[in-house]
Structure 1
Amino acid sequence: MALTPMMQQYLQVKEKCKDSILFFRLGDFYEMFFEDAEVASRELELVLTGRDCGLENRAPMCGIPYHAANSYIGRLVGKGYKIAICEQLEDPSVAKGIVKRDIIKIITPGTYTDSSFLDEKKNNYIMSLYIDNSKNTGICFADISTGDFYCANTKYNENIIMDEISKYLPTEIIILDESDEELLKAVNERYNILISKRNKDFFIEGSLHNLKEQFTDFNEELFHSCTINAANGMLNYIFETQKHSLCNINTIQYYSVEEFLNIDINTRRNLELTESQRDKTKKGSLLGIMDKTCTSMGARELRRWIEQPLINKKKIELRLDAIDELVHNITLHSDLKDALSEIYDIERIIGKVASKSVNAKELTALKNSLGRVPKVKEIIEQCSSIMIKSIFQDIDELSDIYKLLDEAIIDNPALSVKDGSIIKELYSDEVDDLRAAKAHGKEWIASLEQQEKEVTGIKSLKVSYNKVFGYYIEITNANKHLIPEGRYIRKQTLSNAERYITQELKEVEDKILGAEEKLITIEYELFVEVRDEVEKHIDRMKKTAKFIAELDCLMSLATLAVESNYCKPNITNDGAISIKDGKHPVIEKVIPSGTFVANNTFINNKEDMLLIITGPNMAGKSTYMRQVALITLMAQMGSFVPASSASISICDRIFTRIGASDDLNSGKSTFMVEMWEVSNILQNATNRSLVLLDEVGRGTSTYDGLSIAWAVIEYICDNKDIRCKTMFATHYHELTKLEGKIKGVKNYSVAVKEMGKDIIFLRKIIRGGADQSYGVEVAKLAGLPESVIARAKEILKSLEQDISKNEDLSIKETAVDASAKNNMLQISFSDIEKDSIIEEIKKIDILNLTPMEGFNKLYDLIKKVKSL
């Protein structure tokens, strides 16, 4: 059996988009067939029907009205599907044979620009990744809705790639089809990101030509070949899906991974920078309490500032000085806030101009936004801070574009650009003449009804219009006998009335409808001319939008500083972090006002390098460590901080190992994940890093865990390439004996007050180690049954008595002084067994072991000794 001509056409088009669901336009519907129909019917809850296609069995089929397609597309894209839109390319009424059809656009998660489905305060990034045979790696991120286009180059490192993904959170990744499966597995395990594979030629062919054509200032000498290929792959993919290049993507920004404060994927999660761990929303995150922006552009920029804190002292201080000026000038601050609040999303509107999908209402919003720019510039003219003065000097008021839009587009235009009611009066003589003709015709028709009522004496007579029959005179059957003979021509018979026309009415109808149709056509043509003229100035508007976003960020951070009584931090490079009355910026906001207990912090790379923090669970150790990291991060993004004073030495990286989690899909237990995170820190930390370690070693037996924790402290303090600022929270009280024995170690604890049989957490960090962990008391606070608590206390007392009788064993198996490092565990065994263990130890090449391998080897040795 042969396929029908229409189905042959469908399959030819489908061959071009095998990885997409094909929306095939048939009349007023988009139809889907075969497997696409089965997927769409399931995901969109549509009725699955069938259609004769020439084969023995009917083709599975489902469809949606074309005018309602956006909502269905949004739902499918949100679930990670690609949608290919196949339109009719000719008028069916004049087409000979099968109407010509082809794909006009492919919509993917990374190229979706519908503002009704995108988060206005978050970029929608797509990533391109190219790795060559020498493991050089090119990375590119783009947001086609805003025109952002970033590139970087690095040596292949799965951790770095995953860190960049966690920073930008792309919804789609374009990658070589021969890429490392382990990397793809790691991405799929952590994120819901669509992977689009392409061959090598897709990334390489025409690269320099494409980049030079897209970016007029492109300088190939500044880019590694891998970066060029990654960027070219991105451009090719944009062209493949959008079917044309986008002029709002006109600037390529090269960045280095090292030019920002490096925050790895685990740290971003632990510090809850842009989303909370609990429900993955903005609420409860640092961004949630810092975002006081007035514009969508500012909100996206602020997210970037949080995701990418600076390490350049001068740039940080420029932001701080600008915020300081806004904080201390209330009038300036208030006026700027009011002006910014009336500005729409210029970046995404011009993105729609570039993709030729903008409507007249959006151009009106653009006009209104541009109309506020002169006011913004007038407000900041008085500013003295260098950053705001620079914005004042460089910002373009765009008055010519405002004038064009103000003259051309009416203030409240129709939503559809093909329904007329777009062009303003006096902009076009032809439009004005056609509107006059249309208006006069309708006036004549309105007077006709009154005239005919008087002639016929029929009070219920009416003159009406519909799209099928045009204008007509309607008279009920009860009044037909009153019609003068020969006055009307019958047009349509209804059950209770007759419809008529006259020759004069027909002539006026032709004039009105002709004028209306021509008016719609001319208005659309003029709209396209205006849109294309605006498109020529996208580069100027994009720069102004960026300045508005920066001002909005500064205003937002100034508002936060005023409302929360934050201080301006002093930025240094002396290696020390000194904070007085520091608070956790998020927790302070979610608990009753005035109840958060502030704490001081002093840590450096010398005598106060590694702070061992002890105290019971729930006492606030983790909160305290996190607040130090967040205050440091906020200072480096150029924000005021929650403290009465703060001096922050610039850090190159922040690492955290906090909380218990597993990765069972990859066969990693909680303890294995913990060790992997510690290993990553020890391999990548430098003496400019800030490291937070919480309960290292708790995932295994007491002595194993203590041994590992001890070794980690030694490694950080003794390794000259690290010796970094470290906060080390632990329940191993034996580690407090390291103060005075390892240079740089200092003991701190969380103060606890005992009230009879109960305890009160004072949340205050004090000098010195805790003398007990209060674990049973914490269990009591958690609500364990009284019988369990009582029995636990009996067992604890018995164990403490046994330990006191064997104090030598406790010392030998836990804390020994630094001079006895080589004899940490004193164990007796037979000479044969002793020789075997010694030989194994002799063969260990300690200088070539990674920290992780060292931990594993130590664990194996202890396990063997315990089995004796």
Structure 2
Amino acid sequence: MGQNYTIREKFQLEIGLEIIGILSHVSYMTPMFKQYMAIKEEYPDAILLFRMGDFYEMFFEDAEEASRILDITLTSRNREKDQKVPMCGVPAHSADPYISKLVKAGKKVAICEQVEDPKKAKGLVKREVIRVLTPGLITEEEGLTPNANNYLLAINPGKKRTEPWGLSYMDLSTGEFRLTDLKDKEECLEEIFRLEPAELLLPEEIEAEPIFEPFLNDLHRIFPKLFTTRRPFQLFKKERAERTLVEHFKVKGLEGFGINTLNKAIGAAGALLLYAKETQKAGLSHIEPPRAYHLHEFLIIDEASKRNLELVSNNIDGGRTNTLLSILDQTLTPMGGRLLKRWILYPLIDPLKINRRLDAVEFLCTEHKVFDLIRSSLKRVHDLERLLSRAVIGTINPRELLALRESLSAIPEIKEVLSNLKDPKAHTLVAIEKGLNSLKSLRDLLSNAIREDAPQLIRDGRIIKKGFNQELDEIIELQENAKGFIAEIEARERERTQIPNLKIGFNKVFGYYLEVTKTHKDKVPQDYIRKQTLVNAERYITQELKELEEKILSAQERRITLEQKLFDEIKQSVVDQREKLQENARLLAKLDCLQSLSAVAQKHSYKRPIVSDGDEITLKKMRHPVIENVIGKDTFVPNDIHLDDDKEQFIIITGPNMAGKSTVLRSTALNVLMAQMGSFVPCEYAAIGIVDRIFTRVGATDYLSRGQSTFMVEMSETANILHNATPKSLVILDEIGRGTSTYDGLAIAWAVSEELLKIGGKGVKTLFATHYHELTRLENDFDRVKNLSVAVKEWGEEIIFLYTLKKGPANKSYGIHVAALAGIPGSVVERAQEFLEKIENSNSAEIKSKKKRPIQMSLPFECPERCLKLKKVGERIQTIDINNTTPLEALNFLAMLKGELKSE
């Protein structure tokens, strides 16, 4: 065509032409279908839910796709003709579950509503798309997890290696809006992995730039099903983005938000906000001003550590069972649950902030009455953040307003409990009390306005209480006392006309009427209007009767209309208090997290850690919070760990499999993390010097599904540690090099260990569990290296794991014993024992031989006999003059070398 189209334009063109091609053959092209086509052309990549009366209808490919996903009947329009249009539909009043199911299936959904009253419309009812829903734009309860955020995240990549990457994320369902600049794509990827967004927003040109290919490959490998939306690159430019932010938040500049220096992040934030505004067709006044955050303010947990330590999801089914989050989460509100997850993923590094949290947790652990009252009140608090967002977007229902009222009624109780606290440890709790706003006027409004038995749907009516609005009261009274009003008019007219048998009747043709027998016809007043003559009677109407009839017959419709109007006014009153409601939600979430950590500490007998800027980590009678919970505290065997920068910086732990090495490693990392998030820890005593990062190389999970082997994962994670660890970090290594040959693996493990001892000129605190017993010799070369091993008791031919650490290296690996414990058949175990004895005898002979002919080795451990043979071959090859050797001579030489190797 000779024109350059954007991705969106090409897609619109292809889909639009396809639909037009179908409809060009349809002889019954109605005005409704023309309207549908015009709207569909604007949203070609979305399933369009087209409102028709009480249903949302879908047509063509949308109907075929939706019917499969929703498992609903696919029918067709114009059944009697050959040209049929596939269609399906869902009830509008109960569409939310269907919409959520479509979105969870990875579909974009456009909601097209009738935006004018069909009764008042001249011709075709006007329709418009009022919302577009994607995984990152869901606000309906059915599509959300209560205690997890639903992040929409935007990336503004740096095109040069030295240029930072901008990142911004928003939770439309809560109003949270944050941004940060990151130093490179690796840091950006780590943040994406930590946040686990529901949807990612990228500049559409990113796929055309070769420099971004590694980033996209890593992203798709880790998140193969992540819903991704492309937007024009110019929307990510700082000038355009800054204009979007300034206009939305009605400010002159971004300096007041403290984000004006985050150039790349501003681009991401502006693109993100514009996307939300365009798709939601609403003001989005609940979106908080963008808040900057910086990774250097938190303990960094990379994707590998998050996964290996099973912080918020387990490695079996991806759920939260048997995770650190499942142990620590005793929150009572959805906001608290979401915040606690953030505390786990973003532990603090400022000892002052950490100790303030610890003070509050300790206070609640000792003041049981305060603790119990807080929990009792928090149980009545609903999801203030998401209730507010639905009020702003316009989807809140009457029952959710009742939930909001109940939540507000709990705040005075909480303030009263916290108002008289004098203990210095209650400083954080006192600050929460001062920040909470009871919002008495809003609470009273909701109490006076919304009926206790209000339905979920506004269309059902019966929402507003009697006494709230005089006009509504009259309508309600009219509905409830219609017969009484008719009887009253009937009695009054009998008395006025002196017609004793006058009566009021009703039919569908005339409505209400006055009936008078012909014997009293001469008594009929002049204001009566005759409507019908019968054999023995006449029927009349009066102006009063017609007005009453109109009121009675239209009462239900007028009641619903008025209740809708009043409901909208009440909803606006909620929106008007959005800033105070958001602050209440934030403070209640914080209070909920503190009481949760206190509840866990009391339940599991955790102890307060001593947190400082020091360089030592001391954990006495340390336990693993999750494993202890699974097997029971009485069964779990605790251990002691001490790390410092002078004498015990690098701990090598040896011992058999299944003896508890990995548990010790993970326990150490989890105890440090818990301490720095402000939690008590499963130890009898804990002193934690602040750690800036936790690195873990744990487990041997094969990532074939991600295109990576076990060894590749090991090396990638190890490389990340060596590039990013600092002397303030904590490194947890559970084997290195098992995915390659023994000697390659040992060489790599030795070199990595030496490098970790040199990082930053000081070394890094490291726990290294290994089966390479040769590594224990590092203790002879470095004063900071110490050997520990897991104690094992031998009993005859059996072994008993004691799960306790002892000084010194292990003297055996006990691999065959472990194999027997794991259920390997006895015949196989016996055969393995025979091979082991042969190998040990062979090694013994090699040692004696080496004593007769000492050899200089380049490695810090013994080289096997095979190395010597290869060394000799190498020496012979060095003597060959390649330039003066014919091909035939070269082949003969190789044959000779091969023979020598065989003869040896």
State the TM-score, normalized to the length of structure 1: 0.86
In the alignment, the residues of structure 2 paired with residue 837 and residue 599 of structure 1 have an alpha-carbon distance, to the nearest angstrom, of 55
Quote the Cα distance in structure 1 between the aligned partners of 2:760 and 2:457.
Answer: 67
Correspondence list, 1:371-520, <5 A: 371-383=409-421, 384=423, 385-443=426-484, 510-520=550-560
Q: 1-side partners of 2:507 and 2:599: how far apart?
A: 57
The answer as to whether partners of 1:146 and 1:347 remain within 8 angstroms in 2 is: yes
Q: Is the 8 A contact 1:88 1:99 kept in 2?
A: yes
CA contact (8 A) 1:347 1:542 kept: yes
Structure 2 CA distance for partners of 1:293 and 1:776, relative to 1, 3 Å: same
Aligned to 1:257: 295
Matched, 1:77 2:107: no
Confirm or deny that 1:605 pairs with 2:645. yes
Matched, 1:680 2:723: no
CA drift at 1:26: 2.4
- Give the whole-Å Cα distance in 2 for the aligned partners of 1:27 and 1:561: 56
Task: Work out whether 1:188 is the aligned partner of 2:216.
Answer: no
Checking the alignment, whether the CA contact within 8 Å between 1:291 and 1:556 is kept in structure 2 is yes
Report the counterpart of residue 193 of structure 2 in structure 1: 166
Cα offset, 1:420, TM superposition: 2.6
Partner of 1:222, secondary structure, is coil
Q: Name the amino acid aligned to 1:761.
A: F
| Superposition map of 1:577-726 within 5 A | 577-664=617-704, 667-721=707-761, 723-726=763-766
Q: Deviations over 1:589-638 (max 9, x none)?
A: 01134100010110112211111100111111101100000000000000
The amino acid of 1:195's aligned partner reads T
- The alpha-carbon distance between structure 1 residues 820 and 657, as it changes in their structure 2 partners (threshold 3 A), is closer
Aligned-partner SS, 1:806: helix
Instruction: Specify the alignment match of 1:199 in structure 2.
Output: 232
Corresponding residue for 1:454?
none
Is the 1:297–1:345 contact (alpha carbons within 8 Å) kept by the matching residues of 2? yes
For residues 284-363 of structure 1, what are the structure 2 equivalents within 5 Å? Answer: 284-363=322-401
Q: 1:61 corresponds to which letter in structure 2?
A: M
Return the index of the structure with the highest Cα Rg.
Answer: 2
SS in 1 for 2:266: helix
Task: Map Cα deviations across residues 784-829 of structure 1 (whole Å, 9 max, x no partner).
Answer: 11111111111111111111111268999xx999x97599787465
CA deviation profile, 1:731-788 (whole Å, cap 9, x unmatched): 1111112212123111011111112111111110111111111111111111111111
For residue 436 of structure 1, what is the amino acid of its counterpart? E
Residues of 2 paired with 1:721 and 1:540: CA distance? Answer: 51
In structure 2, what is the Cα distance between the partners aligned to 1:508 and 1:747?
Answer: 96
Deviation at 1:156, TM superposition (A): 2.5
Shift of 1:672: 1.5
Q: Is 1:151 the counterpart of 2:179 in the alignment?
A: yes
* Alignment correspondent of 1:481: none
Bigger shift: residues 827-836 or 63-72: 827-836
Residues 97, 142 of structure 2: 8 Å contact kept: no
Partner of 2:49: 23
C-alpha spacing 1:28/1:436, structure 2 compared with 1 (3 Å): closer
Q: Which amino acid aligns with 2:747?
A: S
The structural deviation recorded for 1:345 is 1.0
Residue 430 of structure 2 aligns with an amino acid whose one-letter code is K
2:146 aligns to what? 120
1:210 match: 244
Give a deviation string over 1:503-536, Cα, whole Å, max 9, x none: 8999865432323322222221111112112211
User: 2:654, 2:281 → 1: CA distance?
Assistant: 61
| Structure 1 position 830, deviation (Å) | 6.8
Contact 2:158–2:184 at 8 Å: present in 1 too?
no
- Against the structure 1 CA distance between its residues 511 and 160, is the aligned structure 2 distance closer, same or farther, given a 3 Å change threshold? same
2-side partners of 1:710 and 1:468: how far apart? 99
Instruction: Indicate the residue corresponding to 1:755 in structure 2.
Output: 795
SS at match of 1:418: helix
1:415-453 alpha-carbon deviations (Å, 9 max, x no partner): 2223332222222221222222222115568999xxxxx
**Aligned residues between the structures:** 800
**Alignment partner of 1:18: what SS?**
coil
CA distance in 1, matches of 2:806, 2:337: 39
Mapped to 2, the partners of 1:288 and 1:464 lie a distance apart of 69
**Cα pair 1:442 1:512 within 8 Å, conserved:** no
User: 2:85 corresponds to which letter in structure 1?
Assistant: A
Quote the residue 1:243 is aligned against: 281
Counterpart position of 1:849: none
Give, in whole Å, the separation in 2 of the partners of 1:446 and 1:293.
59
Compute the displacement of 1:661 (Å): 2.5
- More divergent stretch after superposition (299-308 vs 420-429): 420-429
Q: State the one-letter code of the partner of 2:628.
A: E
Aligned to 1:772: 812
Distance 1:63 1:98 in 2: 20
**Aligned residue type for 1:138:** G
Distance 1:642 1:808 in 2: 50
Deviation string, structure 1 residues 659-710 (Cα, Å, up to 9, x no partner): 1123335643211111111111111111111111111111111111111111
Q: Distance in 2 between matches of 1:79 and 1:382?
A: 52
Offset, 1:319: 0.1
Tell me, yes or no, if the aligned pair for 1:163 and 1:264 is still in contact at 8 Å.
Answer: yes
Q: Which of 186-195 and 278-287 deviates more?
A: 186-195
Range moving further from structure 2, 682-691 or 242-251: 242-251
Contact 2:726–2:759 (CA under 8 A) maintained in structure 1: no
Cα-Cα RMSD: 3.3
When structure 1 is superposed on structure 2, of 139-148 and 98-107 the one drifting more is 98-107
Residue in structure 1 matched with residue 133 of structure 2 by the alignment:
107
Q: 1:93 to 1:280 in 2, by over 3 A?
A: same
C-alpha contact (below 8 Å) 1:576/1:604 kept by paired residues: yes
Q: Mapping of 1:711-750 within 5 angstroms?
A: 711-721=751-761, 723-750=763-790
CA contact (8 A) 2:109 2:133 kept: yes
- What SS class does the counterpart of residue 276 from structure 1 fall into? coil
1:521 & 1:207 partners in 2: Cα distance?
Answer: 41
Stretches of structure 2 lacking an aligned partner (at least 5 in a row): 1-23, 207-211, 490-503, 514-530, 534-538, 881-900
Please, which of 118, 127, 136 is the counterpart of residue 92 of structure 1?
A: 118
Deviates more, 1:683-692 or 1:380-389: 380-389
- 1:216–1:250 contact (8 Å) kept in structure 2: no
Question: In structure 1, the residue corresponding to 2:143 is in which secondary structure?
Answer: coil
Gaps of 5+ in 1: 449-462, 473-487, 491-500, 840-865
Q: 1:37 aligns with which of 45, 51, 63?
A: 63
**Alignment partner of 2:812: what SS?**
coil
Q: Rate the CA distance shift 1:247–1:96 in 2: closer, same or farther, 3 A.
A: same
Aligned mates of 1:291, 1:465 — CA distance in 2:
64
Q: SS of 2:141's equivalent?
A: coil
Query: Which stretch shows the higher mean deviation, 195-204 or 568-577?
Result: 195-204
Change (3 A) 1:701 1:810: farther
Q: Aligned partners of 1:761, 1:638: CA distance in 2, in Å?
A: 34
Q: 1:757 to 1:426 in 2, by over 3 A?
A: same
CA distances 1:477-499 after superposition (whole Å, capped 9, x unpaired): xxxxxxxxxxx999xxxxxxxxx
Deviations 1:307-356 (A, max 9, x none): 11001111101100111111111111111111111111111111111112
TM-score normalised by length of structure 2 = 0.83
Structure 1 pair 103/424, CA: closer, same or farther in 2 (3 Å)? Answer: same
Equivalent position of 2:841 in the other structure: 801
Report percent identity of matched pairs. Answer: 42
Return the alpha-carbon distance in structure 1 between the equivalents of residues 326 and 488 of structure 2: 62
1:38 maps to a residue whose letter is E
What letter matches 1:316 in structure 2?
A: I
| 8 Å contact from structure 1 (residues 622, 729) kept in 2 | yes
